Amino acid sequence: MAGTEINLNWTANSTSPLYDQSYQSGDRSPLGVVGPIIKGSTINIYDSGFGGGPTVDLYDGMEGVVSQTLNTTNPLIGAYESNSTAYFQSGGRDGGTCLRTIDGTGYPNGQHQFNSVFNSDVTEIFISYAYKHKAGTYWPSQYASTTDIFPDIQNNSSLKQAWLMYGDGGHNKYNDLVFMSHMSGGGIFGLVGNDQNVLEAVGGAAPPWFVFDNWIRETLWAKADKDNPDTANGEFYLQFMNGNDSEYVYGRTDMPVFDSDRQGSEPAAWDRVKFAQGAGGPAIGTVNHAMDDVYIAIGENAAARVELGNNATYGSCTELVICPSTVWTDTQITAAVEIGALNLGSDVWCHVTLADNSTRKTWKVL
């Protein structure tokens, strides 16, 4: 990769790129990233052919004060629609805090939702977040008879992590998509809506990508046909990571992203997402369901992103963390460093994925 360098400025007010001596001779390829990876630092990546970048609508590393509730301005990028009763607790993905979204107490059904309203109607979206269901606690359903198991009854919708819709009551007008929904007993998860099911039983019953007490990263890219979003086929991409295994990937390209027979006059688009909804009735006991590292990119090029991972091959990583970009041109990317669950005592690689969600450029972090 001659002519390529990725470099890290690790102080907030740094103005001088940290090139090694080889840069002076015009060969910028050997070093990869220079300097330590520290949360809150800035990655500068120089190359050509990055193409168009994403519009990052929201990024929240869920940093807060234990027991305090989430407010609209907590995200590093973007803002929530309103304050929430969800509250911070220790044990976050990077060792800091995370957001407890379901606890088995309060109303309704112990769920503490938080919402994001987009700046425009959306037909392409990339959402990624991490969540953990803590060991020794109940699944958020009255049909989970003991801890650390899924509900033992069918047709019990008991978790909606991220619910895309148009309008505040959009889920009642069949213009919605839930990512992911625990849609039935025994650990049946789906990418589904009220009027069309995209992928049901993703990974089968009690899927291998779900592990109680592990941080699980779930990622969705949904891209509708620009001109005919509800009649022409679009793209769905799902990725799951549990910290133990390499990625689990599922997808579809043989159906429209939006259903053509939705009710009302709403366009084939989404304008908001609601997180942490749909608990399946009051749980028998304490629930500890938490979320961390929430990222949303919208519009064209939504899948373009910068990630740090623990393997030189993207698909072999067992941990990946998105570093939200603040500048993206064809020749330069600037992104904020996030570390997620990466072991910084081991090798780390920087993966840049382009807007097609398949072309990647990779550098080793030194």
Out of 298, 330, 351, a domain closes at 298
Same domain for 213 and 156: yes
Same domain for 349 and 268: no
Average pLDDT, integer, range 290-316: 96
Minimal CA–CA distance to 175: which of 194, 200, 188, 160?
194
Average pLDDT, integer, range 335-341: 92
Predicted pLDDT of residue 26: 41
Same domain for 277 and 218: yes
Out of 266, 298, 330, a domain closes at 298
Each residue's pLDDT tens digit, 81-126 = 999 999 999 999 999 999 999 987 655 557 899 999 999 999 999 9
Out of 258, 283, 298, a domain closes at 298
| Res 259 pLDDT > 80 | yes
Each residue's pLDDT tens digit, 230-253 = 999 999 999 999 999 999 999 999
Average pLDDT, integer, range 317-334: 94
Non-local (6+) Cβ contacts of 14 within 8 A are 42
| Res 5 pLDDT > 60 | no
Which of the four pLDDT bands, split at 50, 70 and 90, describes residue 172?
A: low
Same domain for 259 and 121: yes
| Res 159 pLDDT > 90 | no
The radius of gyration of the chain's CA atoms, rounded to the nearest angstrom, is 20
CATH code of the domain covering residue 272? 2.60.120.200
Total structural domains within the chain:
2
Same domain for 327 and 189: no
| Res 7 pLDDT > 70 | no
| Pairwise pLDDT comparison (49 vs 354), residue with the higher score | 354
| Pairwise pLDDT comparison (343 vs 354), residue with the higher score | 354
Predicted pLDDT of residue 200: 87
| Res 51 pLDDT > 90 | yes
Which of the four pLDDT bands, split at 50, 70 and 90, describes residue 13?
A: very low
Same domain for 225 and 194: yes
Same domain for 252 and 185: yes
Q: For the chain, give the percent of residues with pLDDT over 90.
A: 57
Give the domain range for residue 27: 5-53+305-365
Predicted pLDDT of residue 132: 96
Predicted pLDDT of residue 193: 85
Same domain for 158 and 63: yes
Predicted pLDDT of residue 210: 93
Predicted pLDDT of residue 206: 85
Same domain for 60 and 42: no
CA distances from 69 to 64, 65, 203, 250, 273 (A): 8, 8, 34, 34, 19
Same domain for 335 and 273: no
CATH code of the domain covering residue 323? 2.60.40
| Res 261 pLDDT > 60 | yes
Same domain for 275 and 340: no
Same domain for 61 and 196: yes
Non-local (6+) Cβ contacts of 268 within 8 A are 123, 175, 224, 229, 230, 257, 258, 260, 262
Q: What does the alpha-carbon distance between residue 43 and residue 5 come to, in Å, rounded to a whole number?
A: 11
